[in-house]
Structure 1
Amino acid sequence: MEHFFDSFFILSTIFALSLGRIVKVPAGPLIRVEGRDIVIPCNVSHFDGPPEQDFDWELTQDSGSIMHVVSTLDSSFTDKSYEDRVNSGEIAVERTSASSVVLRIKHVKLTDSGKYKCLTPSTDASISGNYDAEVELRVISDSLKVAAPKSRSKAGSITEGSSFDLRCTASQDSVEGTHLSVTWEVRRGATSEKILSLNPDGGVMAGSGYSQRYQAGVVRLELLGNGVYRLVVAHALPTDEGTYVCVAGQWVKDKSGAWKNILEKSTDVGEVKVTPIASSLMVSVGEGNVTLNADSTLELTCTVATANSDAIRIEVTWYVGPTPSADQGSSRLLVHMDRDSVVNGSDAITVSRVSADTTRLVFREVEKTDTGYYFCKVVGWMPQSGRTWYKAAEKTTTSVRVTVTLLEPTYSVLLSAPTTPHFSDDPTELECKVTDVQNANGTRMTVSWHYRKPTPADLPFSDDLIATMDQNWDLQAGEKYKERVGKGHIVLTKLDPAVFKLQILHTRDSDRGEYFCTVSAWAQTKDHSWVKTKDVSSRNLPVYWDQEDPSLIVVATPLKAVFSGGDTFEMACKVTGKKLKNPKYSVLINVEEPSGRKIRKIMSMSQDSVTRLEEWNEKNRLDSVVLEKSSADEFHFRMYGTQISDAGYYYCEVTAWTPDAGNTWSEATRDISNKVKIDFENTGPAFSVSLHSDRLTVYPGETVKIECVITVHGAAAGTDNISYDVKWSVSTEDKSVFLVSMDRWGLMTLAPRNGTSDCSLERIKPRTYRLSIHNTEDTDQGNYHCSVTPWLQTSDGSWQKSLEIQSEPVLLKVDFAMLESLKYPLLLGAAAALCVGLLAMLIGYIGARFCCKNALQGDMRGNRQLVSMEMD
């Protein structure tokens, strides 16, 4: 490996030396303006020796004399004629790298013209290449001029859409190789934007914000001769406001063909203020409030006043709203005329332009429904580049109140009750009559029937719609009465144009209250539709009859008492009803647990004698409960093979149903009986359940174990005549979730899980069950419960199910272990950092050992002369 690196270094050195030293300066000539700064770079490459090279600068003047200007190594190198400028820093050489410098001359003078040579003293082992390079500098006089003849510029304050032009003069003395450019800019605050530029090659270029307007000819640059340049802006926009600046530039082209700016001057030509059309746009509706009769013609004018009206086109839209402050969203559009005077209206409503600033709305055959607040919206459009238009202004007039009067019909409404009920289910008949009718020619009358439920005087009342007739005499029933009207139990008829009748064939107790009718008058419009013009309501008519509320008395009697498990329990429920008309009864058997915490529905029988199991869902005992109807008002409930878990308080819940019209049944009243207790003389031992957890706080991914311990009181431990159903669940703030269970035969049921954790249940002792939660996660946090149902074996070998008991909850918390989660990433990061450090040290050692050589030492000034050939 060592021989390989030595060979590579020797070949590289020979290749570099074969190229030879190269010194470079920019290609000339360099043309600069008197008084400006100039920077001439110089760099050397392909040299041997130390990496930092020295440079000398010489000037060969036009007279042929050679002047020493400045050096990076020898301060005495500078001629006396340049010492003051070098000492003051006006002339300086600055390093930009170890092998490159720049010669900087501030405020260059005409006498600085000449050929500048950059020399590099030799540090090479052999002479090869060039050791100096020369570039010509031409310093010309500052002849660039730019001015603004304000007397010939048309600027100042103008209106949006107007035109303006600005002028400036720019010139320079004719010097070979220099070219003139002129740029117009607009300054807004601290920022400037280019508008148009006349480039040094004679081409015109537009700024990014003015490109489209320049192509459309709206913005242009004109050459008027004698160095006068004019900027013309047609159809001024509000964004054209600002201070306009004329910038003149002097350019030269280098050997590569690229343009370089050597001098630039600017002058403020003038400030332009653009007044937006929106600030001068005024719109108004000429007339004041208007009142006219129906079928008349409404005429309104909208007047527009604005500055520069010749450059703007007007779009007009008319609206009518319900209130003076109504906007377009809540108003009705009447007619629209666009900026090209194209009208989108109808035969009855149109708009026309009567003068340059006035439009007229014509609304023929107005109706009462056309009453409202009329206003017009005006939009001013201005032309812009590309034959397009933009919205320059938008205003809305104040509204004008237009009232359309109509002779309304006058009439009165009388409500009477030809037939009233004396008992529930009797018919009711109401008659609504229209009297004292005037001005009703061509008017159509319809009716609406309403019911008001009796309420105390201090409470608000509400009205229910029974049915209504629309303008076409079509019947529409209220939501609460749709079924009765549809079945014909409520009948509405129209006896003649002024008499309406309501019939309730079977009056219910819930129909007791007050009734009234409302008669509506409808007028036909010109489009043959109907519009409601008036509503008149009758007085309230009460419909009542004497009524006593129905009642029930339910008595439960035990027929067979229960003293031990396996006996039959029987209970009779006797029903006594009062103030009920042809009732039928439905029965529900309920049981209340001895603790009083829970009420469970066992079995029910409908009024049609259809029985149904409610919450009795024990698969092996579905046929052990029976509910029978022994008479119209008596029911028997039996339970065969009672178990200890059946202990509790049993009672009957009876509902009385009475018939309605159409053989439908409605609930009249309900009652519950007294409670009958099922108890057992000897229920066996007592039980209690407790939970024990190995820990209450775990980290994600760990396993936690919770033990459910059953304690038996009153029986010897380890007996074989007791078995258990065990169920685990976890509860959070809003719900309880079943986890796993094990029945008395040892069969386990596991609920499906959505997360990554898992749980298992095992019996570790005769009365100890362990729940294990593996790979815990944050969703496993909560209160854990253990529910136990004991089963006791009787002397005859049968099993009795006891009451379910539940443990107190155990709260399990899942914490996030910050240190544990960061342990492995930190170890891996430290190991990676150590490996990278060792690798860096190895690379450094190899480079220092094989790839580097000692730098040349000695007097740098002594090495300035060429080395003797004998040194080779």
Structure 2
Amino acid sequence: MKSVMAGIKSTLFVCLHYVLQYAVSREVTVPTGPLYRVAGFSLSVPCAVSGYEGPRMQDFEWFLYRDDLGDRQIGVVSTKDKGFPYAPYQARVRNGEVRVDRDSGDHVRLVVQRLRTDDQGKYECYTPSTDNAYLGSYSSSVVVKVIPDTLQISYSRSLTGQPLPEGAELTLTCSASIRSEQLTHLSITFGKRSGQAGSGGTVGPELSTVQVIISIDKLLGVVPGLAYKKRYDDGDITLEKRNGEGGQDLYIMKIKVLQPNDTGAYFCEAAQWIRDPDRSWQKIAYRTLDIGNLTVKQLSESLSVTSKPQGEVTLQVGSPLLLTCEVNGLPSDVNSGLQIQWMKRGSAGGEFIGSGGTEVEVARMSPDGIVSWGDDVSRASGGSMEKVEDAKYSLKLFSARPSDTGVYRCVVSVYAGRRIPAPSMPATLTQRSEGVTVNLKTKDVVVSAEAQLAQGPLLKRGSTITLLCTATITTTGPAQAQVQWLRWPLPEPQIRSSKNTTPEPALPVEPKPVATLTYDGIVEIYGNGSEVSVDRLSVVSYRLRVHAATIEDQGMYACRAEAWGQDPHGGWYNSGVKAESNAVTVYLYARVADLLLIPLVVGVSSALLVGIVIIAAVTCCFMKRLAKQRARR
């Protein structure tokens, strides 16, 4: 029995030994064939060896079995023997047209740069043994079929190098076709080479960069280049395939809006693709055509914006103001959208004109012709903004006011190649004209204001505060006063210093508006909870009444008068001349009822407290006596 078990163990050991040897035996692999490649283009066949013994750097030898020579083998190239190639390949190996490129020690590729018809056949990759025992496979073969070159490509119009304006449209057309018995696909790529200047200012091909603009890939899908994806998504770049004549298809690329960085040398590439048995796609033929050079002329080199009249304009109040904006240098063959803005810098009333101050928008015309008014919406009925002719726009104020004094500029935003741009789209270029200074001659106006507290009994809480304002305007022509009442809080009591008998002045406090009587008789109340009324007693006298006054209504009151004049067209305007009256102090005293209430409250509180104390004392004593009587019993 023991001898039988020993025999079984020996057999199992031998079997295991052979299984392990087989598992680590040498194996050479090449792609599954047949591989179809095009004459005149390159062939690359990978070969790898695994499961070997010996050094990591393995040698490889390639043989060819041509169809017309039967089983005769031709030595093509070897990694260890320079004299290995047979006569048909000796010269091609020497000049590098046929070679072995090594990816790693046990992975190489046979490269034939320009395939010939007689290169067709079965290629065998052989690896000389470095193993202790001859076990496994030492070679593997793949069939290569060389098919004729039928790829054709052409273009319909070349670029001459003539500059195109920024925003113009570019259309390039390529024709391409293939005729093959095998199932192959055709891809088309439009690209651009951009030269970069070296230190000497010259541009050389070694410094150029190639960018893919857009292509129809081997799977027949449209794919934009990485740098052009956003423009493709925005619809600025398209690629279309059309049926052409003679079996050739037309491929039309459009760049709808040229940008300065589109300058460069353009090309079109057609490539033939085939799917190998291992399901991988291989480019087996390609051709590139240079279409020509393109220069994009920037809009900033030609655009200019001028406003007229130039320099300085002086007008009488009520006269019309007419400003014109001219846009020059726009390319006539580019359909661009324009946004025209009139901006003004300067304070109302002409108190300040210059480069300082806040610039505000007066009016705007959008690219679709819609006019909107900026800082002064009332101008929508007192002015107009129009397109007089191509690239010429006017701003007209029918009756100029003192507040129209300032420096005007025309601001033009150009959307090159986009007649109606999207709301969020930035302008291609924005330019401003020189400033036009507008001065208005106003009438001599003198305004005075005086405030006083109306005579009456002592003011108490709940009384009606009555304040009078005398506002006079001295000028020629019709004028009206606009009166506003202001209130400051009562100043805090000042603490005198022992070293300095002069009290320190209180910090200024911004007044709060109480009410306004406008020049046209409209009352505006800025309420704090109290009932307020304003009326006009005479031509120069105005009255403010605060009914049922509270403690919050006391303070220092003043009136501010502004002069409004009337222009020849009957419109009223703020002359900008104003005056502020003296301040009147309003203090509210406590009422008699309030004064009597204080002792009454104090008396009642005292009496109540005394009563509580007496009742508590009596109750306490009574409870103690009652407790003693119960204890005696």
Check whether TM > 0.5. yes
1:393 pairs with 2:393:
no
User: What's the secondary structure of 1:18's corresponding residue?
Assistant: helix
Residue 42, structure 1, aligned to residue 42, structure 2? no
1:335 is matched with: 363
Trace 1:340-379 onto structure 2 (pairs within 5 A): 340-345=368-373, 346-379=380-413
CA deviation string 1:542-588 (max 9, x = no partner)? xxxxxxxxxxxxxxxxxxxxxxxxxxxxxxxxxxxxxxxxxxxxxxx
User: For residues 240-276 of structure 1, what are the alpha-carbon distances to aligned partners after superposition, in whole Å with 9 as ceiling and x for unaligned?
Assistant: 3332111122322211322212333322212233334
CA distance in 1 between partners of 2:160 and 2:253 (Å) = 10
Question: Are positions 1:313 and 2:318 aligned together?
Answer: no
Give the partner amino acid of 1:241.
Answer: T
Determine the C-alpha separation between the residues in 2 that align with 1:51 and 1:255. Answer: 30
Using the TM superposition, give the Cα deviation of residue 73 of structure 1 relative to its aligned residue in structure 2, in angstroms: 5.8
Partner of 1:326: 355
Q: Share of identical aligned residues, percent?
A: 29
Question: Counterpart amino acid of 1:237?
Answer: L
* Separation in structure 2 between the aligned mates of residue 372 and residue 83 of structure 1, nearest angstrom: 89
Per-residue CA deviation, residues 298-344 of structure 1 (Å, 9 max, x unaligned), is 232323342248722222222222377638x7223222232233332
Q: Does 1:207 align with 2:225?
A: yes
Indicate the residue corresponding to 1:188 in structure 2: 194
Gaps of 5+ in 2: 1-12, 196-207, 347-351, 374-379, 449-470, 484-505, 517-538, 542-559, 580-633
Quote the residue 1:849 is aligned against.
none
Name the CA shift for 1:410/1:132 in 2 (closer, same or farther; >3 Å): closer
Which of 313, 321, 326 is the aligned partner of 1:298? 321
Q: Indicate how the Cα distance of structure 1 residues 522 and 84 shifts in structure 2: closer, same or farther if over 3 A, else same.
A: closer
Tell me the amino acid that sits aligned with residue 298 of structure 1. L
1:249 aligns with 2:278: no
Gaps of at least 5 residues in structure 1 are: 1-8, 413-433, 447-463, 475-495, 499-519, 536-872
Q: What amino acid maps onto 2:438 in structure 1?
A: V
Structure 1 residue aligned with 2:32: 27
Does the CA-based 8 Å contact 1:38-1:106 persist in structure 2? Answer: yes
Letter in structure 2 aligned against 1:60: Y
Q: How does 1:583-662 map to 2 (within 5 A)?
A: none
Which whole-Å CA distance do the structure 2 matches of 1:102 and 1:291 have between them? 86
TM-score for the superposition, normalised by structure 1? 0.44
- Taking structure 1 as reference, are residues 295 and 74 closer, same or farther at Cα in structure 2, changes over 3 Å only? closer
Deviations 1:820-866 (A, max 9, x none): xxxxxxxxxxxxxxxxxxxxxxxxxxxxxxxxxxxxxxxxxxxxxxx
What amino acid is the match of 1:332?
A: V
Deviation of 1:525 (Å): 5.2
- Which amino acid counterpart does residue 255 of structure 1 have in structure 2? P
Which of these two proteins has the greater Rg computed from alpha carbons? 1
Structure 1 residues 374-400: Cα deviation after superposition (integer angstroms, max 9, x where no partner): 222222234669973441222222222
How far apart are the structure 1 equivalents of 2:103 and 2:256? Answer: 53
Q: C-alpha distance in 2, partners of 1:89/1:249? A: 24
Look up the SS of the partner of 1:26 in the other structure.
Answer: coil
Q: Distance in 2 between matches of 1:445 and 1:56?
A: 107
* 1:351 aligned counterpart, secondary structure: strand
Cα distance between partner residues in 2 of 1:360 and 1:386: 21
Structure 1 residues 394 and 294 mapped into 2: Cα distance closer, same or farther (>3 Å)? same
How far the C-alpha of 1:70 sits from its partner, in A, is 4.2
Distance 1:497 1:245, change over 3 A: same
1:159 aligns with 2:165: yes
Distance in 1 separating the partners of 2:482 and 2:94: 114
- The alignment of Structure 1 onto Structure 2 pairs a total of residues equal to 464
1:403 counterpart residue number: 439
Provide the rounded CA distance (Å) in 1 between the counterparts of 2:419 and 2:183: 38
Structure 1 CA distance for aligned equivalents of residues 59 and 334 of structure 2: 74
Letter in 2 for 1:378: V
| One-letter amino acid matched to 1:231 | I
Give the conservation status (yes or no) of the 8 Å contact 2:415–2:421: no
| Aligned AA (1:206) | P
1:233 aligns with 2:254: yes
| 1:168 partnered with 2:209 | no
Match of 1:726 in 2: none
Q: Which has the higher strand share?
A: 1
Matched, 1:17 2:21: yes
Letter in 2 for 1:16: L
Give the drift of 1:408: 0.4
In 2, are the aligned partners of 1:168 and 1:269 still within 8 Å (CA)? no
Q: Specify whether residues 230 and 82 from structure 1 end up closer, same or farther in structure 2 by C-alpha distance, changes over 3 A only.
A: closer
Question: Of residues 270, 274, 277 in structure 1, which corresponds to 2:292?
Answer: 270
- The structure, 1 or 2, with the larger RCO (C-alpha pairs under 8 Å, 6+ apart) is 2
CA distance change for structure 1 residues 309 and 409 in 2, over 3 Å: closer, same or farther?
farther
- The counterpart of 1:219, out of the listed 238, 241, 247, is 238
- Aligned equivalents of 1:394 and 1:98: distance in 2? 62
Distance 1:57 1:470 in 2: 100
